[in-house]
Amino acid sequence: MSSAAAAAASANLAKGLEGVIAGETAICSIEQGGLWYRGYEIHDLAQNATFEEVAHLLLVGHKPSAAELAKFKAEIIAERPLHPSVTSFIESMGGYLASGRAVPMDVLRSAVSILGHTDPDAQSVAADANLRKAKRLLAKIPTIIGHMQNVIDGKAIIGRELGGDPTLGHAANLMYLMNGNKPSPDYARVIDISLILYAEHDYNASTFASRVIAGTLSDMHGAVSGGIAALKGPLHGGANEMAMEMLREIMQDCGEAAIGTSAVDDWMQKAFDTKRKLMGFGHRVYKNGDHRAPILHKLGRNIAEKDTKNPGNHAAIKWFELGEQVQKIMLAKKNIHPNVDFPCGLTYFTMGIPVPQYTPIFVASRITGWASHIMEQHANNRIIRPLSLYSGPAYRKWNS
């Protein structure tokens, strides 16, 4: 390529594929004005659907009838227990998890890979096999998360034989598996809605990674493992943990008495001066705000208002007040809105969920979106293989 042509190509390059339409999907659409899963708007789903219904909508392709939903739920409950190879792997990681040397997202990624080794449909990419694998992954990921938390806490594994409590729905069982307490209906519904909000988001980084893997006709467990690796990053799903860590840092540096005062502005100004990225803010697609964020913020705040516990020795509502002040400053000084990960961090913290489990819980939801995209990719496949613009040394001889 001539240098003029290379310069022209470089000028036209969409860094980070911003604005590039990389494929079609019938699963989800995102506009500045909203978010739709298979044509249903996200507020409608958050208000009127359950996570299991949304999972069916995404994976099977339509809103379930009562009979279809009952069958779907029964299938998921039956698939909750883990193969002993996965449980022993999690137990073998106990010391590393407890010391923080191994993080739950990485152990979850490996556990999902191990699940693939014993799945009867492992190597098939046929539609029926893919759907069976998707349901198994949906069922088993909360069990993995719960078992990991049990070994971190040095507890006997809760619900080892049954994958929790078969009388509990998906969200409530996830909480039960983690700490052995059955959550109140209010708490369970907030988790359920957070799972609805996290379920799907078109060609986001982790879904695109999963589609690239699936596009080689590789298998679902491999594609999902790749999705988990992509989601872990702090610029993507890892932001829900990092957002809460940032609030903890502000609380520690400024103190509770500083909430509502200029001390928080000063902390933020220092962050701006050092060009620090503030986690839980900004979005590649939404420039006027993430539609999911206010839904979760309101729910989390309601829980915090009622909460008399003191996570981190500060009343739960104080964390929301701090978060709201940080949001105001970001908007006033940078015109950047919070994304869903910001209220998620606050909400899960209020509920006493350990911070390193926030992104794994995101996985427990996004598995539905990834698996739907993997199935869509396999159903109408063409390998995903873009071009790059070479920017290395001039061509040369090895023996010169």
Which residues participate in catalysis according to the annotation?
Answer: 236, 283, 341
Per rule CB under 6 A, is residue 207 in the interface with ligand COA? no
State yes or no: residue 297 binds ligand COA (CB under 6 A): no
Task: Print the binding letters for residues 1-20 with ligand COA: x by CB under 6 A, - otherwise.
Answer: ---------------x----
Specify the 3-state DSSP secondary structure of 135: helix
Q: Contact at 8 Å (CB) between 370 and 231? A: no
Binding mask 305-344 for ligand COA (x = CB under 6 A): -----------------------------x-x--x-x---
What's the rounded Cα separation, in Å, for the pair 377 and 375?
A: 5
Question: Pattern 61-100, binding to ligand COA, x per CB under 6 A?
Answer: ----------------------------------------
Q: Confirm or reject binding of residue 283 to ligand COA (CB under 6 A).
A: yes
Give Dmax over CA atoms of the chain in angstroms.
Answer: 75
Distance CA 145, CA 166 (A): 17
Instruction: Tell me the three-class secondary structure of 90-121, residue by residue.
Output: HHHCHHHHHHCCCCHHHHHHHHHHHHHHHCCC
Binding of residue 200 to ligand COA (CB under 6 A): no
With CB under 6 A as the contact rule, the residue among 54, 77, 188, 239 that binds ligand COA is 239
Q: Of 80-88, 146-154, 280-288, 312-320, which segment contacts ligand COA by CB under 6 A?
A: 280-288
Structure tokens at 118: 């014993």
For residue 38, state whether it binds ligand COA (rule: CB under 6 A).
Answer: no
Q: Which residues contact 35 (CB under 8 A, 6 or more apart)?
A: 28, 29, 41, 42, 201, 291, 292
Considering the complex, state which of residue 222 and residue 280 has its C-beta at the smaller distance from ligand COA.
Answer: 280
Contact indicator for 337, 174 with CB cutoff of 8 Å: no
Considering only 169, 282, 300, 323, the residue that binds ligand COA (CB under 6 A) is: 282
Number of helical (H) and strand (E) elements in the chain, helices listed first: 18, 3
In the complex with ligand COA, which residue's Cβ is closer, 178 or 326?
326
**Chain position whose Cβ is nearest to ligand COA:** 282
Residue that has been written with the tokens 């829900």 in this structure = 240
> Which positions touch ligand COA (CB under 6 A)?
16, 235-236, 239, 277-284, 334, 336, 339, 341
